[in-house]
Amino acid sequence: MRARIALGIVTIVAVAACSPVDTDSEPITTRPEPVTTTAPTTTLPLVAGCPDEGEFVEDGTIASFDQDQSDSSVIGQISWRADEACETFTFSFVTSEGAPATTPPTVTAAYVEGVPVIRVTVDADQTIITDQLVETGLIDRLYVVRSLEGGSFIDLHLAAPAQARIHVDGSPARVTLDLQPGIVEYPIAATASDIVVLVTPLDTGVVTPTIEVTGYARTFESNVMIIATAGDQLVAEINTTAAGGLETWGEFRARVVLPPGEVSLFVGDENAEDGGLEGVTISLTVR
């Protein structure tokens, strides 16, 4: 039985082909296939399992590629293709003038520790897209985030255990991530809303009194509020700043000290219209 194929891309690509005309036969009239324009997609070659070249890993650093000089300043097209045995994500780059880049940027790919997220960090300051719903067998959604250290990273949130490998190409510049089913299970996904994605800690987690609150936000003036309560008591309140703004996701990090016991943690911002809190809330057990 032929495997069910899922295809995706986040920019439109138009392909035209011409054929010689046979003047000795009757003309043949053809009708073009209908094209859907509500969601920018295109057809990519089908895959029947990942190619044999390259080793897959399921923890820690996947790969790292250094590049002294690169014309890749913008993350451009992101496309993917998938079958039951392999999913391939391709990240293409363009120059600051909008032309296809020829030299890939410095790239590092790794699993975020303890979280169902693969992070591809690239030395590119701008992006054409900010996030995309994927919903393949292995990936739920991806986010493109401006990093606090400069450059950007692409977070792929896993929908199921996955092994990964990565390689880069030039002329045109692109990064390719191959995924195949893995065995490492995660207890829960990262918590997300329209303005905040909380990567760590995970909801219902058991934590130490000092925690690192990390994620990305799209809030007014990049403000991020972190509020911890135990019952009706306020036990911690911190304001920090994300690297981006309303036009893109920006990374944030903050260290928070919590008392032992059950704690509710809110991460977000005040709503500009009514002053209410807007974001995500998780429950933690502090040991």
| Residue spans per domain, the chain | 6-19+41-181, 191-286
Placement of tokens 């790919």 in the chain: 109
| Residue 100 pLDDT level (bands cut at 50, 70, 90) | very high
Q: Which CATH architecture has domain 191-286?
A: Sandwich (2.60)
| Residue 271 pLDDT level (bands cut at 50, 70, 90) | confident
User: Is a pLDDT exceeding 60 seen at residue 47?
Assistant: no
User: Is a pLDDT exceeding 80 seen at residue 1?
Assistant: no
DSSP-assigned letter for residue 189? P
Placement of tokens 């809030």 in the chain: 219
Q: What is the pLDDT of residues 50-83, one digit of tens each?
A: 988 889 999 999 999 999 999 999 999 999 999 8
| Residue 8 pLDDT level (bands cut at 50, 70, 90) | low
CA atoms within 13 A on the CB side of 274: 3
First vs last C-alpha separation in the chain: 51
User: Is a pLDDT exceeding 60 seen at residue 158?
Assistant: yes
User: Is a pLDDT exceeding 60 seen at residue 33?
Assistant: no
Mean predicted confidence (pLDDT) in 10-23: 40
Least confident of 4-8, 88-92, 241-245: 4-8
C-alpha 191/C-alpha 265 separation (Å) is 12
Predicted pLDDT at 244: 79
Q: Are strands 277-286 and 205-207 parallel, antiparallel or unpaired?
A: parallel
User: Is a pLDDT exceeding 70 seen at residue 45?
Assistant: no
Contacts of 281 (CB under 8 A, 6+ apart): 264, 265, 266, 267
User: Is a pLDDT exceeding 90 seen at residue 26?
Assistant: no
Same topology, domains 6-19+41-181 and 191-286? Answer is yes
175 within 8 A of 120, measured Cβ to Cβ: yes
- Which residue would you say has higher pLDDT here, 39 or 20? 20
Considering the entire predicted model, what is its pTM? 0.83
Predicted pLDDT at 3: 43
Q: What percent of the chain has pLDDT over 90?
A: 76
Q: What's the fold here for domain 6-19+41-181?
A: Immunoglobulin-like (2.60.40)
| CA dist 27 → 21, 22, 24, 30, 243 (Å) | 9, 8, 9, 10, 60
Q: What is the pLDDT of residues 114-126, one digit of tens each?
A: 999 999 999 999 9
Q: Please name which of 230, 233, 215 lies closest in space to residue 280, comparing C-alpha atoms.
A: 215
| Residue 237 pLDDT level (bands cut at 50, 70, 90) | very high
Distance of CA 42 to the CA centre of its chain: 20
Placement of tokens 């899922």 in the chain: 6
Least confident of 30-34, 132-136, 137-141, 180-184: 30-34
Predicted pLDDT at 30: 38
Mean pLDDT, all residues of the chain: 86
DSSP states of 15-72 as a string?
--------TTS------PPP---SS--------SS--SSS--BSSSEEEEE--SS---
| CA dist 145 → 56, 125, 150, 206, 246 (Å) | 25, 10, 10, 27, 12
- Which residue would you say has higher pLDDT here, 240 or 31? 240
User: Is a pLDDT exceeding 60 seen at residue 48?
Assistant: no
Mean predicted confidence (pLDDT) in 268-276: 86
| Residue 14 pLDDT level (bands cut at 50, 70, 90) | very low
Q: Please name which of 175, 165, 189, 177 lies closest in space to residue 58, comparing C-alpha atoms.
A: 165
Q: Are strands 205-207 and 210-217 parallel, antiparallel or unpaired?
A: unpaired
Q: Please name which of 248, 194, 250, 198 lies closest in space to residue 228, comparing C-alpha atoms.
A: 198
